[in-house]
Amino acid sequence: MALPPSDIPSLSSKPSAKPPWIRVKLPGGAAWKQVEGILEKYRLHTVCDEARCPNKGACWGAGTATFMILGDRCTRGCRFCAVSTGVRGQDLREDEGRAIAAAAAELKLRYLVLTSVDRDDLSDGGAGHFAACLRAIKTGNPGIPVELLIPDYALAELAPLVAAGPAVIAHNVETVPSLQWVRDPRASFAKSLATLRAAKALGMGLTKTSLLLGLGEQKAEVLGVMDTLREAGVDILVLGQYLRPSPKQIPVAAYLSPEDFEAYAAEARNRGFAGVLSSPLARTSYHAYEAWQQQTQGRGHDGP
C-alpha cells in the first residue's frame, strides 16, 4: 500500500546501508555477448555503460536501447554523473546515425532512445548532428519510435529536432531548485524548464523529464516541482533513486523505499501527468517503450 503524501519522508537523515531493493543482477550470457559484439562492431557508445546505469540488462533484454552520440566526453561536470568530462569533446562522426540504424536493425530493437553528452564547445551544442542522426535512424528503421533525451537546448536548436519527428523529447531537470548545485554551473532548473517549454511551443506532442531522489530534497520541494512541470506541459515524469556511481561522485543522502516511490507516483498522477514511472531503479530511459506505448494508446502508465 502506498504511503499517504504526509508520510513521505524528508531526506535530511544520513542514509543506511544500501537496501535490498537496490541490488540488481549484472547482465551476462550468450545474448549479452552478442549485444556487446554488435556495439563493438559499429563502434557505438551507450549511456548504459558510460553512466553505469543499473538497468543495463533489463532494457536491452526488453528490446530498448539508449545510444549516446556526440562522443563520450562531456564538456560539463555534474557531481552525480560518471560520464567522463573535458573542455572539448571528440570530433563528430559523420556516419554515426547510419551506424546506430544498422545496429538497431541487427539487434531487432522495438524502441530506441538517443541521448548525448553536452557539447558546449560546438556552436549549436551538437543539435544539428542530433537531428542528422535521428533522420538516419528513421530512414534505416522506419518502424522504430525514437525518443530524444537532449541537452538544455534553446528554441532555435530544438526546431530541427522537432521537425525530424521524434516520438518523445525528454530533458532532465535532475533535481529540485535548491539542489541544482549538484549540476554543472552552466545548467539550472530555469534553463531546463525553458527547454521543456520550448519543445511544447514547437508542437512536440510528448515531453518527459526525470528527478533523481535521495540527494537531500524535501517532500514539499518535490511536490512543488511536479506542479511547475505540469504548468509547463510536461507529459511524462520519471522518479528514481540516486545511486552513487563511484566514490568520485557525491554520496547518497537517503534511500527511499518502494512504498515512498508509490506515494510520489500517486501525487504525480493526481497532478495530471499522463505517464508516471516511479521506482528506485527508474531512469529516463528505463521502460521508455512502455511509457510511450501507453501514451499512444491513450492510457496512463503507473509502474516501472
- Residue 1: the pLDDT is 31
**Residue 238 falls within a domain, yes or no?**
yes
- Which grid coordinates belong to 191? 534553463
- Answer whether residue 271 is part of any domain: yes
Is residue 2 a part of any domain in this protein?
no
Would residue 268 count as lying in a domain?
A: yes
Q: How many domains does the chain have?
A: 1
The pLDDT tens digits of the residues spanning 159-215 come to: 999 999 999 999 999 999 999 999 999 999 999 999 999 999 999 999 999 999 999
Question: What are the grid coordinates assigned to 51, written together?
Answer: 553512466
Instruction: Assign 5 a pLDDT band (cuts: 50, 70, 90).
Output: very low
In a domain, 94, yes or no: yes
> What band does 299 get if pLDDT is binned at 50, 70 and 90?
very low
- Any domain includes 30: no
52-68: pLDDT as tens digits: 555 455 555 555 778 99
Q: What is the pLDDT of residues 64-81, one digit of tens each?
A: 778 999 999 999 999 999
User: Which pLDDT score, from 0 to 100, does residue 298 have?
Assistant: 55
CA distance 137 to 67: 11
Q: What is the CATH number of the domain that holds 165?
A: 3.20.20.70
**Is 27 inside any structural domain?**
no
Percent of the chain with pLDDT over 90: 67
The owner of cell 519543445 is 199
Note down the domain range covering 174.
39-296
Q: Answer whether residue 128 is part of any domain.
A: yes
